[in-house]
Structure formats: structure tokens, C-alpha cells
Amino acid sequence: MKERIVDSGYRISGTGFREPRSGRHNFLRFQIRCVLACLFLSLFISCDEGPKVAPSTAAEPLGANEAAQVSYNTSMIFSSDGLLRAILHAGRVETFETRHYTWLDSGVRVDFYNNEGEHSSVLTSQSARVNSINNDMTAYGHVRIVSDSGTTVNTDSLLWDNKSQMVHSDAPVHIVEKNGRTTDGIGFESDQNLAHYHILHPTIIAPSGTFSTSHGTPAPPAQPYIPGSNAMQQQPLGLPVDSAQR
């Protein structure tokens, strides 16, 4: 049986009818491409729909509450502008790098030095915290400063500024000078040598018998007031007490 090609481009064999060979191949290629495209798309979607990990909302990294380093019977040297300011000794030192501070306990002692490099005073406390950025130190628990000149300060907490060499406290303070004079108050600031101190809110102790006793006994009659009679005996209420006024 002969085959013949007509102008329409189709192959005719006998009485049968077939599509052109080139068109059939193109159709098969189209089907293969569609299948591959569907497989690729489904694979992409399955990967995209995988489990998503939410960003961490933790305020600090894991282990931030644990000390990065612990040492015992350690000394630390503090300097500013090339001058020795203080030498700190502690029984235990814990360094918290992520929190930028160092915690000291087991007996804290700080020796302070003046601008001439001479020893000027010593501080003792139960514990202390040192800022790792500016080296400022806050002492806690039975804080006591004794200057080489003989002045003693007792308080519950105290901040030492490394740059200014000043000490500050918002807690009640008790000061005893070399001559035996004592001063009490709330709020205190001074140079680390205790040469010039300032009490923000001094405590005025009234003479005995001025007020009623705890059992309700009436106080004795008030004495006539003489202007200026007590001016040299006590500080006026509410005025700061300054060591320069002593």
C-alpha cells in the first residue's frame, strides 16, 4: 500500500487517518513539561510550608544568670587618668560578662589612694558590686569607711564613683570624727578621703524631757525662749550638715 503526502501536511495510509509526526512529539513534550512543573511546584510548596521557628523573645541569653568566671582571694586594681585610685580585695569574685558586672563577697576590703598616690582611707563591707563598664562600685552590708585622718562612717550601702573619687549613700549614716563628735542623718556624700563630707538630712536629737515619755507622762513646762541661745549647740532642723562647718 502506498503512502502519499498531501498539501495539508498529514500522513495518510490507506483509509486510516493519523496526526502529523512533529505535532505528536510536541504534544508529548508539553505533557512531560507539565508533569515536571507540577512536581517542582508541589516540592516547593511542601518545603515552604514546613515548620517555622519563631524568633526568640528571651530577654537575655541562656546562662546569663551564671557566672562566667569565679575566683577566690582576688585583688582588683582601679585607676583613672593614669593614677591609682583603689585596690580591692575579696574572698570570692564572680564575673557576669553578659550583665556587665562583677559580684564580690566573703569579706570585701577597698584601700583608697589620693591624687599623690598615698593611702587615704579603707572601706569594708559584706559584699559589693562593680560595674564592668565604668568601674563604679556599690558596697552592701555593714559598710564602714575609716579615713587615715581618724573619721569613721557607718552605713548599710554606699556607692563609690571611680572617676570622681566620691562616695554617696541614700541610707542612714553614722559619722564619728577623731575628736569624738558624732553625727547621724540620712543621705551622705563625701570625697573618698572623708576630708569634706555632707549629710543631706541630719537627724536632730532633742534633749531629754522635751517630749512626753512612751508611758504618756506629760513633759515639763517649756523654758522661756531666748533668741540665739541654742545657735551654737545644734544644727537647725532640715539644714545639711557639712564637715567644713565643724
One-letter amino acid of 82:
G
81: nearest Cα among 151, 170, 163: 163
Q: Across the 246 residues of the chain, what is the mean pLDDT of every consecutive 10-residue run?
A: 41 44 61 68 54 45 73 91 90 93 95 92 96 94 96 96 92 93 94 92 63 47 44 43 60
Residue 202 cell numbers, joined: 541630719
pTM metric for this prediction? 0.59
Residue 114 CA to residue 161 CA, distance in Å, equals 14
**Residue 42: per-residue pLDDT:** 64
**Residue 46: per-residue pLDDT:** 53
- Is 214 contained in some domain? no
| 146 membership: H or E segment, kind and range | strand 137-147
Residue 57 cell numbers, joined: 523573645
Residue 104 CA to residue 87 CA, distance in Å, equals 13
Say how many CA atoms lie within 13 Å of 105 toward its Cβ. Answer: 6
Question: What DSSP line would sit under 73-86, residue for residue?
Answer: EEEEEEEETTEEEE
**Residue 155: per-residue pLDDT:** 96
Domain membership of residue 96 as a residue range: 69-206+237-245
The domain spanning residue 176 has which CATH number? 2.60.450.10
- Is 41 contained in some domain? no
- Is 51 contained in some domain? no
- Is 52 contained in some domain? no
What is the number of domains present in the chain?
Answer: 1
Secondary structure tally for the chain: helices H, strands E? 1, 14
Residue 152: strand, helix, or coil: strand
Residue 12 cell numbers, joined: 495518510
- Is 102 contained in some domain? yes
- Is 154 contained in some domain? yes
